[in-house]
Amino acid sequence: MQSSKLTQTLSFGLDIHTGSGDDLQTGCLEARRLRNEANRLDRHSWDWDEIKSTVVDNADHVKNTSQLIVDKALGEIERYHDNKDDGWGRPYPYIDTLYPIVMNHGEGYRLFPEDDGTVRFRITATRGTHVKGELRGSPLHFDRLQTAFIDAEWRVGTAQVVHKHNEWRLHVTVTHGNHRVANKHDADTIVGVDVNEDCIALAAMSRSGSVKDSVVFEYPSVKEQRHEFFTKRKRMQKAKQTAFETVVQTEERDYVHDSLHKVSRRVVEWISQFTNPLIVFEDLKDMRDSIDYGTRMNRRLHSLPFAALQEMVSYKAAWDGIPSDDVNPEYTSQQCPRTECQHTKRANRQKKRFKCRRCGFQDHADRKAAVCVVQKWFSKQKNENVPSLETLPRVKKVRRTASGRGGATDSHGLALGSGVDRHGTSAQLSQGAREELKSVASAVQD
């Protein structure tokens, strides 16, 4: 086993007994003023240390809370400066929306667990103004919070007051400083992951070389919505009505972020079915520098949240004790997975269909790439041989739809044949298998 520091955010509703939501609104309005002031001073090229000291000294929050709010604002500005060459807009001023109050436990807010399982709260909305009451939330989040109070390895960290879905909520972070994650070298099942702009493909392979299972989680709505947001921004630019362009960008990021969280949760649930799994990703740190397919394609690929999805999957898996690793992604989409062939050529792949030009092997291109990721992992291990592979199981495809229910079929149905066996005979899916896969996919919901 190996150790790693992990943090989880717990969300609770606020049942207010003393004070009111108006006090929290006043605190969020003051937080918004601090955030906008930090952004304004950065526009005027102030030094960040001067921004922090000036804004904090003139705040109506307790000092520690003011410092955290300004740190959050400066973090947004730093991300803008790091990505402005890629078209990121400067953080837009908060005008009609509230900004969260960011607090440390014991200073800006305090929680009091009771013997009956309830948890009371006290929030310093502004300097000298306190809001008190009880938390409301899921049993799972209450259990995690109670553990953080009684277990010395856990710590209750910062929290944010937000107004969401017409109610006041408190988002509390809890951190385990020495979480246990399985050793990757002890894994019995290696799960290769191939991330694309409209799907994520997974292939689980045993050390003996057999592919235990595979699946393709599709999320076409993300690609569609990103294109819609891009078209909207282009029209605004053409009409020279760019006042709300950054608002549209923020809406797009929020939508994509929420969608990827749901997809990553389903991915980890699928991986958890295997014994001692290890997740293997493609190492994408140099992808931006190596891609140059023209202006339109570069825009699509460079802006895709490949790394974000990988990070979400890895993070959620780590909470379940599942380790992660990465390999060089070179040629995983072009190489034939058959051990005795391994032919590599760009012409082998045509959109979502892979067909080896040498041996005739056919498969779903993304699932095949996930298999090659596993093979690359085996090849870089000492005392490990790349298992022999002749055929692959049928492809199971689960689609996440915009309406919130997964499992919708595409034009090919829920499952495709594995492609071609070693002699080139196309694999067919039996009616019984189709019905079984339909029942599996219909159970997948967002």
Among 96-105, 107-116, 288-297, 345-354, whose mean pLDDT is lowest? 288-297
Instruction: List C-alpha distances in Å: 318 to 176, 230, 273, 419.
Output: 12, 34, 15, 33
Helices 63-83 and 48-57, packing angle to 10 deg = 150
Find where tokens 């922090």 sit: 52
Mean pLDDT confidence for 113-119: 91
Mean pLDDT confidence for 7-21: 94
Mean pLDDT confidence for 221-243: 73
Residue 174: how many CA atoms within 13 Å on its side-chain side? 20
Instruction: List C-alpha distances in Å: 401 to 41, 214, 415, 446.
Output: 43, 20, 17, 9
> The whole model's pTM is what?
0.58
Q: Which residues pair with 193 in a beta bridge?
A: 202
Regarding predicted confidence, which is higher, 20 or 209?
A: 20
Regarding predicted confidence, which is higher, 33 or 308?
A: 33
Mean pLDDT confidence for 217-230: 76
Residues 67, 38: Cα–Cα separation, whole Å = 11
- pLDDT of 235 higher than 50: yes
Among 20-29, 92-101, 164-173, 401-410, whose mean pLDDT is lowest? 401-410
Comparing CA positions, the residue from 178, 434, 418 lying closest to residue 321 is 178
Per residue in 161-214, pLDDT (tens digit) is: 999 888 999 999 998 877 778 888 889 999 999 998 788 999 999 988 788 999
Residue 254 has what pLDDT? 74
Regarding predicted confidence, which is higher, 80 or 221?
A: 80
Amino acid at 426: S
How buried is residue 367: exposed, middle or buried, by Cβ count under 10 Å (0-12/13-18/19+)? Answer: buried
Residue 444 has what pLDDT? 31
Helices 21-43 and 63-83, packing angle to 10 deg = 50
pLDDT band for 4, please (50, 70, 90 cuts): low
Q: What are the residues whose beta carbons fall under 8 Å from the beta carbon of 222, sequence distance 6 or more?
A: 197, 198, 255, 256, 259, 260
Residues 395, 417: Cα–Cα separation, whole Å = 6
Regarding predicted confidence, which is higher, 117 or 131?
A: 131
- pLDDT of 66 higher than 80: yes
Residues 347, 356: Cα–Cα separation, whole Å = 8
